[in-house]
Structure 1
């Protein structure tokens, strides 16, 4: 056996599918085996492997055992002369394995090998080659000196940025996303250190390979795509802690006492510094737009009120100070909550949802106005004028922010993206249908043929003319049909056009997903057939709003409704459990063993099965009802179920 490929998967099913397609193509001319170790994914990865990749040796863990232990599980069963540790969010070229095995056979001193990696826009990933993170190297990296002076041999050691990325180089550290290892060397060094749960294990093993007298090489004559960020979200505070704590483990293991202490100090300073930045950024990201809106609304009432006092009563100061101090803040809170529940703060922003939220706010304020005591009813005219100001200025501010290309003000109704599909007629049309089913806002500019033998209707040219086609037709995005075009050709095209501002996607054969990535700093983008899943943020908000509204209504009607229930305590308890978010009015059918790949829901007072009291619901039917409820959610169905099964609310 020439090579054993080991892929550890955790909730990246669609990326895993694309990765395995590329790996199987790359194994056609050599003897190899593929292991997939799944760390208790809940996205249907196990079903995908069993259905589409029966030849894969599948190891399914019942818990997330971490990256190191999962890799070791497969390595212990492997038979290949070489072991490749490969991330699931990667795409390899068809001759990648052949080239690397040939290189390793010629260089017996090589213990490990890494390759040139690019992101989903064809941009080189600097972690393709790295130096050993000694205390000072880590310090230069953590505090930005390596980024300021990339060509410096002193400051640029972390990513060896002063070395030519197009030449074979001896390096210290291999990237865990693609790490080719000689099995006989692993027998001497030992496998991955399971003390590292995630991150740091690649640095540790690379260093142990060098300590054993072998070399690590960077090999740029083959390139892989790495959709950086898919397996883990690297902007999170948890990532910062896990990554830097892994560095501390490495330092204590390999550096002498004083060096380890200095390194640990640097790391802790970096953790606190990054944690502060991360927490501040998260808070500001969530609250600064609502705060800006609150200031705008307050400013509107502050400007409009004296004008109205002068116009209507010829008396500035007609309204008491309590109006601006108490009533207007109450109006602001109602407007902000209405916009929130309308989805007006969901990105990309929607002017329609903002306007809808303002309208909901107006209705709520007018209802409250009609119910409060006379002394708190100041002016309907001011409410209407304030609402007009709020709706107009909030939309104008968002339009200006979008025009200035501020990312947080990006609007969902911006210019429709022009997409071109590269592939043969049948597959290109299948991908076109798939794009239509995903409901993304796009316009098909046309098809691009692989050569002059396969041109049909709406074909704009050939793959060799790709750059010219993009420029003339103002294409925003290219979708490659992996059924027809090799991974190598896709990667070459991405590298050649990496200077252009264009996005790329790859459509795996016989798949319902289209995969890509738009930035080195973002996780991969994924187009899938769009069902109205309950996991969508908008549906979550609607469901919670219905829960709260229904609970308050039941509480208001309880003096009368209470006598309709035999379990009166349960009825009251359910109202308050729903109000405090411990339960939901409609959840999954409790008698069914809920599938792992369904979105999590609170325990329901009612279930979809209550819609059909006349039918005996067995295990299979209950599971089907759960799947339908989760994957095609409709808030009106919840309302219908509440109306039909209200007598069961005392469970």
Structure 2
């Protein structure tokens, strides 16, 4: 049986996807693995380009862009590995990332969910691979701007865990789907990613549900990638999608009253940033995000209102 099934979701990032996978496939690994690329109906010919450049990779073609989590679920349906490794298309592996994950998972099997490190172009940890679960205190810090002004403060920027050591293995509240290893049996037990998300916060949701099922998401410092952050998203578009994901998480995982408070704090935080942008003439995208508040405050549509997952 295969040790690891690597699942990559591609959407209009053919060059980045091919470059990252060539690095992955060209690095000798301690693990046996297969690579499954799920193409989300790209318009740049990604599916054909990847299939032609990397014939050893299985390309799953979807009829519509169904978002990240549901595309991973489609790829996982073809997987044969003991573990699933999620890898962003704009992430380039550093060393034997699969072997690093598998070696740790075999030595310490209890966590069942393992999170890697994402590095910037200078090879420095970008601080975006592990997160705290959403909290009212975290949203209050966002609403008042404290999380931005004091980004390195563990107290005032709790969501990003700025004080958490990235070079030592250990439990974390939640991990990014950019680079994550999960026991395939657990993934199946959880029903995969919740289909209510199109993009963003589905990995936080998965971490929360895995923890509730007895898993312990754990950072594996030796599993690393260089991450070209958000290569397939525009600045405003990405922020709107991130907020839709956050609101969807509140709707699904918080009580109605607490979720209303969370949404109100998000609104206050965006309003503050939009006002600041008008005054300073900087970061003008916040004004555009504010103008889109009716969209992000509604979260993502119910699964039945999103495109169905059909392979072609």
> Are 1:240 and 1:271, in contact at CA under 8 Å, matched by a contact in 2?
no
Q: RMSD of aligned C-alpha atoms?
A: 2.3
Q: Is the 8 A contact 2:117 2:179 kept in 1?
A: no
- CA shift for structure 1 position 80: 0.8
Partner residue in 2 for 1:154: 155
Counterpart-to-counterpart distance in 2, 1:8 and 1:49: 12
Q: Decide whether the 8 Å contact of 1:26 with 1:93 is kept in 2.
A: no
| TM-score of the two chains, using structure 2 as the length reference | 0.83
2:102 aligns with 101
Contact 1:110 1:217 in 2 (8 A): yes
SS in 2 for 1:99: helix
**Pairing 1:250–2:237 present:** no
Match of 1:463 in 2: none
Q: 1:221 to 1:277 in 2, by over 3 A?
A: same
What are the ranges of 5 or more consecutive residues in structure 2 without an aligned counterpart? 286-312
**Structure 2 partner of 1:191:** 192
Q: How does 1:199-598 map to 2 (within 5 A)?
A: 199-233=200-234, 235-236=235-236, 238-274=237-273
Cα 1:8/1:142, change in 2 over 3 Å: farther
Q: How does 1:68-87 map to 2 (within 5 A)?
A: 68-87=69-88
| CA distance in 1 between partners of 2:131 and 2:205 (Å) | 13
User: Aligned to 1:125, what secondary structure does the other structure show?
Assistant: coil
SS for the counterpart of 2:207 is helix
Instruction: Quote how far apart the aligned CAs of 1:226 are.
Output: 0.4
The structure-2 alpha-carbon separation of the partners of 1:93 and 1:124, relative to structure 1 and needing over 3 Å to count, comes to closer
Aligned counterpart, 1:343: none
Deviates more, 1:43-52 or 1:82-91: 43-52
Deviation at 1:183, TM superposition (A): 0.9
146 and 281 in structure 1: CA distance in 2 versus 1, 3 angstrom threshold: closer
Match of 1:59 in 2: 60
Q: Separation in 2 of the partners of 1:186 and 1:27? A: 27
1:221 to 1:107, Cα distance in 2 relative to 1, 3 A? same
> 1: distance between equivalents of 2:174 and 2:282?
31
CA contact (8 A) 1:140 1:146 kept: yes
Taking the aligned partners of 2:144 and 2:217, their CA distance within structure 1 comes to 27
Which of structures 1 and 2 has the bigger CA Rg?
A: 1
Q: Distance in 2 between matches of 1:118 and 1:19?
A: 14
- Residues 118 and 198 (structure 1 numbering): CA distance in 2 closer, same or farther, change over 3 Å? same
Residue-pair matches, total: 282
TM-score in terms of structure 1 length = 0.41
Q: Following TM superposition, by how much is the alpha carbon of 1:122 offset from its aligned partner in structure 2, in angstroms?
A: 2.3
**Contact 1:22–1:91 (8 Å) recurs in 2:** yes
Report the counterpart of residue 126 of structure 1 in structure 2: 127
Q: CA deviation at 1:27?
A: 6.0
Alignment correspondent of 2:117: 116
The alpha carbon displacement at 1:151 in A equals: 5.4
C-alpha separation between the residues in 1 aligned to 2:123 and 2:214?
Answer: 35
Change (3 A) 1:143 1:55: farther
Q: How far did 1:133 drift?
A: 1.5
Could you tell me which residue of structure 2 aligns to residue 176 of structure 1? 177
* 1:92 counterpart SS class: strand
- Alpha-carbon separation, structure 2, partners of 1:165 and 1:99: 15
In structure 2, C-alpha distance between the alignment counterparts of 1:16 and 1:143, rounded to whole Å: 38
Q: 8 Å contact 2:14–2:50 — kept in the other structure?
A: no
- 1:283, distance to aligned residue in structure 2 (A): 7.1
Q: Could you say what secondary structure the match of 1:240 adopts?
A: helix
Distance (Å, rounded) in 2 between the aligned partners of 1:256 and 1:67: 26
Q: Does 1:24 align with 2:25?
A: yes
Deviations 1:363-398 (A, max 9, x none): xxxxxxxxxxxxxxxxxxxxxxxxxxxxxxxxxxxx
Contact 1:241 1:271 in 2 (8 A): no
Shift of 1:188: 2.2
CA distance in 1, matches of 2:113, 2:177: 11
Aligned pair in 2 of structure 1 residues 142, 265: CA closer, same or farther (>3 Å)? closer
How far apart are 1:172 and its partner, in Å?
0.8
Q: Distance in 1 between matches of 2:20 and 2:209?
A: 29
Structure with larger RCO (C-alpha < 8 A, sep 6+): 2
Give the deviation of 1:150 after TM superposition.
4.8
Gap change, CA 1:81 and 1:241, over 3 Å in 2: same
Answer yes or no: is the 8 Å Cα contact 1:25–1:94 preserved in 2.
no
Q: C-alpha separation between the residues in 2 aligned to 1:41 and 1:75?
A: 19
CA shift, 1:147, in A, is 4.3
Q: Secondary structure at the match of 2:59?
A: strand
Q: 1:281 to 1:21 in 2, by over 3 A?
A: same
- Partner deviation per Cα, 1:219-247 (whole Å, 9 max, x = no partner): 222321001121222x21x3222211211
**CA 1:141–1:102 in 2, change beyond 3 Å: closer, same or farther?**
farther
Q: Do 1:141 and 1:158's aligned partners in 2 also have CA atoms closer than 8 Å?
A: no
The structure whose residues are more often helix, as a share, is: 1
Structure 2 counterpart SS, 1:186: helix
Q: Secondary structure at the match of 1:215?
A: coil
**Deviation per CA, 1:275-321, whole angstroms, max 9, x where unpaired?**
6667976879xxxxxxxxxxxxxxxxxxxxxxxxxxxxxxxxxxxxx
Question: CA distance change for structure 1 residues 59 and 145 in 2, over 3 Å: closer, same or farther?
Answer: same
